[in-house]
Every structure is written in structure tokens, then in C-alpha cells.
Chains A and B, each alone.
Chain A
């Protein structure tokens, strides 16, 4: 028996409707009951909760403290220190990615094409760090779903991921060579966005599609 998706259960919970499947399926009936309880609890919550005054005092104090720290030590404006930090950060990322890829099966490697480490700018690292973890998690999710997807679907997804990987590699190399180029930062970020979007869509495909 095929179970209802979470979206379907949510719809039933919100509409108050019943379905034949729920009447017959213990698992879905239990899930529906839990979601309905959750909804009831959520509705019972107050619409607004005022933060106690001491919370605001603490936030204000912390913001002021951080301002002092930033003002006193703008370390990234020191050339050599910034360069060293960038190298360490990029090397750290490279090491992390290498460790990551070592832990995967050969089958997984076919899907998991990671950005190759390029020693470069903080700008490159800044863009990478916004997406690398998300993309890795999505690829892992896709890998777990691989057996449920049609081979032709897997092929299409992998082909498109390779196309985006190639574009990311080119944009990263260009940004490493021209770190102050904001257009390249935007291009790289947009490629990552497309990759995240494609992976999300692929992971949302139903079994056997």
C-alpha cells in the first residue's frame, strides 16, 4: 500500500476531511492524528509574545560589544593576515571536500562532483560556503533516492548536474583569477542557485518517475 505524502496528510489535517486511504491505513491515520494535534496546539499558541525586557538589554549589550571588537580589530584589512586566512580557509575547505569524497562509494562519486579546490580569494570562499553544505546534503539525499528513480531520470539529472558543475568550475577559476570582480561573484552564485534548485527538484520527484 502506498502511503500518503506529508503534503497530502497536511491537506487533510487542515481541511478536516477524511479519506478512504486513512480509514484503511494505520500508519497514515496515526500521522494524520499527530499533525492534527500539532495544528491544534499551534492554533492554541498566542499570536504574539513580548520579549522580557532583560532579553533586549542582553541583545543591546552584545551588539555594542561586537561593535567594539570589530572597530578594534579589522583584521581582514591587514594584507598578509587576510591572505593567510584565505589560504587556510580554502585549504580547509579543500581538505574537508577531499575527506568527504573519500567517504563515498564509487557510485556516489559519479554524482558528487565537488568544486575543485582553487587557492584564491575570500570572495570565492564566501560564495562557496553559502552553498557547499546545502549542495552536499541534497546530493546525499538524491543518492539515497537513486534506487527509486527511473534510470532515464537519473541520467537526465546527472547530465544537467555535470553541465552546472562545469559552469561552476569555470566561474570559480575566473573568480580566483579576478577576485574583485563582482560580476563573477554574481555569476558563480547564480550557478550554485541553479544547482541547488535542480537538486531540490530531483529529490522531490516521486518514486519511479
Chain B
């Protein structure tokens, strides 16, 4: 089973990289970009075939290592 994990900064946490990207887009002439937030994307190949078990394992991985829950949220997709 393949797991796709998206890690994003929590609302209210400043994202200087997102701001820099927004600035660069503006200087390339892309107007109307109101906000940019940069995050991470992680793919896992899991031996587990049970969706609920896999989700629970990955949730634990996110809580313990993949995300810093003080500043980040995570979102898990299984396929």
C-alpha cells in the first residue's frame, strides 16, 4: 500500500519561505497570488494491507517523527 503524507505549517506560523516564493512569483509577473505556504510531501510504501491499521501506524509515525506538531499539521492519504 502506498501512503502519501502532506505536512504543512499550522495557521498563524510565519512561513518566510512561502513569502519569498510569493515575492519571486510577483517579480516574474504572476499577479493575483494572495498567499503562498510551503510544505513537505512524503511517500511511504507499506507492507500493511489493512487500510485502518496502516493509517494508525502512519499517524503514529507523524506524531513521533515525520511532523513537528508544535508547528506543523499532517494529512495522510492511502492508495
- Is chain B a partner of chain A in the same complex? no
Q: What is the interface of chain A, defined by CB distance below 8 A to chain B?
A: none
Q: What is the interface of chain B, defined by CB distance below 8 A to chain A?
A: none
